[in-house]
Structure 1
Amino acid sequence: MENSTANSKKIILNYGAILGVISILLGVIMYVTNAYLSPSFIYNIIGFLILAGTIWLGVEAYKKENNGYLSIKDALKVGVGIALIGGIIGAIWLLLLIFVIEPDYMTQLGDLQREQMIERFPDMPQSQIDQSMEMAGKFSSPWIITAFSLIGNIFFGFLIALVVGLIKKNKNPYEA
């Protein structure tokens, strides 16, 4: 007998959309402040806190709708679902940025990587720099960047949901 009254799909979609919109707002701020190519560590922290906060609130909403009961499995389902939906929306923003808003994004990124390499290794021969840049270019396509962004969102969403589930779990005594 299942006493669960919570609609996880609705919560996942709502909080995933909220995560996606807030992620886009952060992305716009990064673009406007010209930090989109090489964001400072603070943007990574803010992004992580947004992800964690949204998952926490989503799992809390699920628990409340489920009469105060929450299993780790449900927390993972809700948390990873929120991270997935938010990640897809964020990936759409990233692709829009790369292909529409800033079409020379990949060139700018390559130039920045070359400059950073020269600064870090001033004695490196030009041929070795070119070889390194060619190798980096293979792993820096817009699609690979977007895929890693989405995979990272899901991975951290899983970890956050696991922690939230362990903290907030409350087993329903009517379930087997």
Structure 2
Amino acid sequence: MEKKSNSMLKHSMNYGLIMGVSLVILSLIVYLMGILKPPFWVSIINWIIVIAIIYIGSKKYRDEVLGGAIGYGNAVGYGVLVSAFSAVITSFFTILLVTVIDPEYVNKLLVVVEEEMVNKGLPDEQISAGLEMSKKFMSPIFMFFSGLLGSVLTGLIISLITSIFVKKEAAPFKDQVIE
């Protein structure tokens, strides 16, 4: 049993790395395009990456490591681990982006938030209060931990769904010899 949990950890780390790097590349493309408020198509690509990697990784783990059988709970756990490893990578990238690559990034985002509030016709007092609240949520530490939590929760939800399609019970009499 120890070997299986070890292999789950190693396998999920590999797929978490693939997912994390893929999401960082997508974020870099969006950043380099100068897009502060990503359009809907970016979210679609993000979801496709996450769903595909959790599904493919779970299926490969089931088939290549576990011999073709995995329970629903183990499949969910595997997907959450993949998401957790990916979340660490993407959260570190976010910290790197807002502190080293572009220290003015948060201020640029706040300008976009302010413009949206003005376009909605909110009074100045609400805009000021909203910007102050937004500043608190855009601190690097808060962004790191909220990124971790959000990614893991998203991974849990996706894993709950993909595991329905990945789970496969072992044949009950597979190892028995008939004489």
TM-score, scaled to structure 2: 0.87
- In structure 1, how many angstroms separate the alpha carbons of the residues matched to 2:134 and 2:96? 22
Q: Secondary structure of the residue that 1:11 maps to in structure 2? A: helix
**In the alignment, which residue of structure 1 is the partner of 2:72?**
72
Q: Deviations over 1:36-87 (max 9, x none)?
A: x211111111111101111011101111121110101111111000000011
- In structure 2, how many angstroms separate the alpha carbons of the residues matched to 1:99 and 1:5? 39
Retained in 2: the 8 A contact 1:98–1:105?
yes
Residue 147 of structure 1, CA deviation:
2.0
**In the alignment, which residue of structure 1 is the partner of 2:62?**
63
Give yes or no for the alignment of 1:130 onto 2:154. no
- Runs of 4+ in structure 1 deviating by more than 4 angstroms, as ranges, are none
Residue 5 of structure 1, CA deviation:
5.5
Retained in 1: the 8 A contact 2:62–2:68?
yes
Letter in 1 for 2:26: L
Letter in 2 for 1:159: I
Retained in 1: the 8 A contact 2:15–2:53?
yes
Distance 1:115 1:5, change over 3 A: closer
- In structure 2, how many angstroms separate the alpha carbons of the residues matched to 1:115 and 1:5? 52
- In structure 1, how many angstroms separate the alpha carbons of the residues matched to 2:42 and 2:144? 17
- In structure 2, how many angstroms separate the alpha carbons of the residues matched to 1:149 and 1:45? 18
- Aligned pairs (5 A) from 1:1-176: 7-35=7-35, 37-64=36-63, 65-121=65-121, 124-172=122-170, 173=172
Retained in 2: the 8 A contact 1:70–1:165?
no
Q: State percent identity of aligned pairs.
A: 29
TM-score, scaled to structure 1: 0.89
